[in-house]
Chains A and B, each alone.
Chain A
Amino acid sequence: MAHGNFALPCAIVPRLRRERDQSQDNRSAFWLFISEHCERNGCVLMKIALTGNPNSGKTTLFNLYTGSNQYVGNWAGVTVEKKEGTLSYGGESITLVDLPGIYSLSPYSMEEIITRSVLIDERPDVLIDIIDGSNIERNLYLAVQLMELSVPLVLAVNMMDEVEAKGDRLDCDKLSKLLGVAVIPITARKAKNTQLLLDTAVELARTRDYNPRSPVGSVRYDNNTAQAIRDIYALLWEESRLRELPLWFYASKLLEGDPKAAETLKLDKKTLDQVERLVQAYEATSPYGDRETMLADARYKAITAITDKAMVKQGAEGSLSLSDKIDLVVTNRVLALPIFLLIMFIIFASTFGPVGSFFSDGIEYLLGEVLGGQVTALLDAAQAPGWTYGLLIDAIIGGVGGVLTFLPQIMILFTCLSLLEDSGYMARAAFIMDRLLHKIGLTGKSFIPMLMGFGCTTPAVMAARTMENDRDRKLTIMIIPFMSCGAKLPIYALFAGTFFAAHQGIVVFSMYIIGMLVAILSGLLLKNTLFRGKVAPFVMELPPYRLPSPTVLGRHVWEKCKGFLIKAGTIIFSMSVVIWLLQNFNWSLHLVEDNTQSIFASIGRAIAPLFAPLGFGSWQAAVSVLAGLVAKETVVSSMIVLYGAGSQAELATMLPGVFSSLSAFSFMAFCLLYMPCLSAFVSIKREMNSLKWALGTALFGTGVAYVVSMLIYQIGKFFVA
């Protein structure tokens, strides 16, 4: 905490306040100076940390308290998000830290390591643990560990509206008495009781100090566990250098077999051996014989003993909720995959159905006939030179407009995908795929970022950070680009609409299936070559099914639409003009009448032979593929410019003269699989922290695209006339 010209440790500050409030005679001039300086300069006097399980409502509460006064960055040296904000409370400034969502304080993930580090090294003045009231046992597993840190603690039981809606009753006063810590029921979403929570936390920070000699509150473990922890604590207490640390926490972690705990404490061999003897004696008391399992079991038994007294559930023990009943079908061993494929097929059939086509044709008419017609008339009236027609009509209206005509299809597709995500079904998709992926040595955890790849590769690559296993993370990043992102949709829409008009939905669906299959098979290949190793276990929380909020859904679709329009107005517009320039000027920068003499044509002719085995050896197709390296939509806009078509409809009439149905399918498959766009490439480089790996990913993707496309065309020739 820094203010003015010097810094004060957070732990001192509550004492400052108490000293300032005491009689003038007892205060030293120094403390008086410090506290008055702090108040005068609006210094931060308090730090509150928010912690809890993922999806418990921490961020909702954080946003409620801090509003726009937030700072978002990364914790030093890692890519885990760090969120801090300030709030004003009774004239003083409080810092609020939103810690990453974690399930325990074991050092298995970066989020857990970060949270431990913050809570022990930075030691906030008070900790608020947000508990999901509808899943209280699992959430209390973290709470009982937080209590061992000896930092003043308040438990906020969130989602009380859902608890009440289920008919369950949670006696928070009783829970508070049993745990020995303050428990406040809240509904963060509706700001219910959030002021009381803040008041309680602040009061606690002012009146209680960090006391490493005892945990906060009390949890009754079984005698063996309690005694083992006490014995290890006594051993650690003998070393005076450790007495400022939360030794109850470290004692339980050493009992658990936490390797980081021993490392942090820098215990000598003699102490380590003594601890190990105590732990082995503890293990001998149980048939489990495994320290980690025993301690987890002890914690859950203690938690159950508490919740049995404080909570009354409406439903019978083991009764199924509506979400559970739906999951019996949706995640059924036999039905799950067919249901998933059917849902995806329905989505694509809807996307390319009559509604999308109607609006697409409308946009085409407005841009091509109306706007294009008006601009042509203006240019005619101005007796403009011929090249201006090419620039304004072919490149801008044709190129940009040709991509804009697919806006309705993109909106329909993203509405459907948002519906699936917001309802909670996408989480089930990852669970369904895990069963399949595990059989071939991959993990379902890879499928979550892969699913995000249906939207955009760049955030999907970043989402792979959740994978603790570095090998699996790199492997996942390498196969994410095979998932068909939204930017490729105009390519499919153009070619499927031209060559497979009666079966557009099926053909586009097949592209997504090919993408997933290639991703899985590539993953299998990489897993058995570059990334050998054990399959990481996959544990995930299935959120309950929810009816998507129309407002949230509308906002997602609007943001997607806005993003698409921004892209059209910037990169697609600029690439269309640049392609036009390269197609109408030669290397001497003279305007050419015959575009086969242009810069682009000479580049295209040099690389076109490479694509001949794939069935699309024209120079226009070759340079369109190059243009797609910047943004995939520009494949379509560049084709419109290169073929001199004034619109997407006109291009559609020209394409059958250049492509066959088979070569069109081959071209779509190549565009699906080859190296991702520039921003995705940079994202891959950043996440892998290596240009070499990023280039490897790009080359691997392009190589796979080449092989798959070639196989489709060469084998397809035997079956298609």
Chain B
Amino acid sequence: MTAVVVVLCGLVIALALYLLVRSLRKMSRGQCCEGCSDCPQKHGCSSYHPDDVPPKKGSGSP
């Protein structure tokens, strides 16, 4: 049981380090750590990647 707790704690530490690196990478691109969904400037931000369906094939390119 002790070993299980220690392993779990290890996993928690690994998860925290992974989340920290991921968050720092996002922030280094100027992305808020709260996410973009309610950001009033998201459409003008190069860090924003909308999750909507990409344009249909054959439609005009920008």
Known: A81-B43, A81-B44, A682-B27. A71 touches B19 (CB 8 A): no
Q: Are B40 and A564 in contact (CB under 8 A)?
A: no
Neighbouring B residues of A26 by C-beta, 8 Å: none
Report the minimum CB–CB distance from A537 to chain B (whole Å).
24
Is A206 an interface residue when CB atoms closer than 8 A count as contact? no
Answer whether A465 and B55 are a contact pair too, CB < 8 Å, given A562-B35, A563-B38. no
CA distance A385 to B9 in the complex (A): 11
Q: With an 8 A cutoff between CB atoms, is A678 at the interface?
A: yes
Contact indicator per residue, chain B 30-62, by CB within 8 Å of chain A (1) or not (0): 111111011111111110101011011111111
Contact with A along B1-37 (1 / 0, CB 8 A): 1101110010011001101101110111111111101
A69 contacts partner chain B, Cβ-Cβ < 8 Å: yes
Min Cβ gap B49→A in Å is 10
Give the tally of cross-chain contacts (CB within 8 A): 163
Does A83 sit at the interface, judged by CB under 8 A? yes
Q: Within A429-466, which residues are at the interface with B (CB < 8 Å)?
A: 452, 456, 458-459, 462-463, 465
Q: Is the CB of B16 within 8 A of A678?
A: no
Q: Quick one: closest B residue to A95, CB to CB?
A: B60
Indicate if the CB atoms of A564 and B34 lie closer than 8 Å: yes
Q: Are B53 and A69 in contact (CB under 8 A)?
A: yes
Which of B2, B38, B57 has the most chain A CB atoms inside 10 A of its CB? Answer: B38
The answer to whether the Cβ of A151 comes within 8 Å of any Cβ in the partner chain is: no
Decide if A612 is an interface residue (CB 8 Å cutoff): no
Q: Which of B2, B29, B38 lies in contact with A384, CB distance below 8 A?
A: B2
* B26: contacting residue among A562, A679, A685, CB under 8 A: A679
Known: A44-B59, A385-B6, A571-B20. A679 touches B13 (CB 8 A): no
A278 at the interface (CB under 8 A from B): no
A581 touches B13 (CB 8 A): yes
Give the shortest distance, in Å, between A291 (CB) and chain B (any CB).
34
A605 on the B face (CB < 8 A):
no
Q: Mark A67-80, 1 if CB is under 8 A from B, else 0.
A: 01111111000011
Q: Flag A670-698 by CB within 8 Å of B: 1 or 0 each.
A: 00000001110011011000000000000
User: Are B32 and A575 within 8 A (Cβ)?
Assistant: no
Minimal beta-carbon separation of A721 from chain B (angstroms): 41
Contact check, B5 vs A382: say whether CB atoms are below 8 A apart. yes
- On whether the beta carbons of A71 and B30 are closer than 8 Å, the reply is no
- Whether B44 lies near A571 (C-beta < 8 A) is no
State in angstroms the CA–CA spacing of A506 and B5 once bound together: 46
State which of B9, B17, B53, B58 has its C-beta within 8 Å of the C-beta of A42. Answer: B58
Q: Are A93 and B41 in contact (CB under 8 A)?
A: no
Q: Chain B contacts of A564 at CB under 8 A? A: 34
| Cα separation A521 to B35 with both chains bound (whole Å) | 32
Distance in angstroms between the alpha carbons of A45 and B61 in the assembled complex? 12
CB distance from B44 to the nearest CB of A (A): 5
Complexed CA–CA distance, A72 and B50 (Å) = 9
Write out the residue numbers on chain B whose beta carbons fall within 8 Å of the beta carbon of A686: 30, 46
Which of A73, A381, A382 has most chain B Cβ within 10 Å? A382
Could you tell me the distance between the alpha carbons of A562 and B34 in the complex, rounded to whole angstroms? 8
> Judging by beta carbons under 8 Å apart, are A679 and B9 in contact?
no
Chain B residues lying within 8 Å of A71, measured Cβ to Cβ, are: 55, 62
Task: Look across to chain B and name the residue whose beta carbon is closest to the beta carbon of A70.
Answer: B52
The answer to whether B46 touches A74, judged by C-beta atoms less than 8 angstroms apart, is: yes
A47 (CB) vs chain B CBs: closest residue: B60
Tell me the minimal C-beta distance from B51 to chain A in angstroms. Answer: 10
**Segment from A138-146, A174-182, A197-205, A388-396 that makes contact with B:** A388-396
User: Complex Cα distance A169/B26, Å?
Assistant: 52
- Compute how far the CA of A696 lies from the CA of B29 in the bound complex, rounded to whole angstroms: 19
B-facing mask of A375-405, CB < 8 A → 1, else 0?
A: 0001101111101100110001000000000
Known contacts A68-B52, A384-B2, A462-B44; is-contact A574 B16 (Cβ 8 Å): yes
Which A residues touch B38, using CB under 8 A? 556, 559-560, 562-563
Residues of A within 8 A of B37 (CB): 559, 562-563
Provide the bound-state CA to CA distance between A456 and B17, in Å: 25
**Contacting residue for B16 out of A73, A577, A679, CB 8 A:** A577
Cβ–Cβ < 8 Å partners of B28 in chain A: 678, 682
Residue among A82, A458, A564, A578 with the highest chain B CB neighbour number at 10 A? A458
**Contact between chains at B35 and A566 (CB < 8 Å):** yes
List residues of chain A with CB within 8 A of the CB of B61: 1-2
Please give me the residue from chain A that is nearest to B26 by CB atom.
A679
Q: Is A415 close to B, CB under 8 A? A: no
Is A61's beta carbon under 8 Å from chain B? no
A574: chain B residues within 8 A (beta carbon):
16-17, 19-20, 23
A74 x B13 contact (CB < 8 A): no
The contact of A379 among B5, B35, B41, B53, by CB within 8 Å, is B5
Given A384-B6, A456-B34: A391 touches B13 (CB 8 Å cut-off): yes
Contacts of B27 in A (CB 8 A): 630, 677-679, 682
Starting from the known contacts A378-B5, A463-B41, A679-B26, 9 additional A-B residue pairs (CB-CB under 8 Å) come to A68-B52, A80-B44, A85-B55, A462-B41, A559-B37, A577-B17, A578-B16, A578-B17, A682-B29
* Residue contacts A-B, CB under 8 angstroms, 19 given: A43-B60, A68-B52, A72-B43, A79-B44, A81-B44, A95-B59, A384-B6, A385-B2, A456-B34, A567-B34, A570-B19, A571-B33, A573-B16, A576-B16, A577-B12, A581-B13, A630-B24, A631-B33, A678-B27
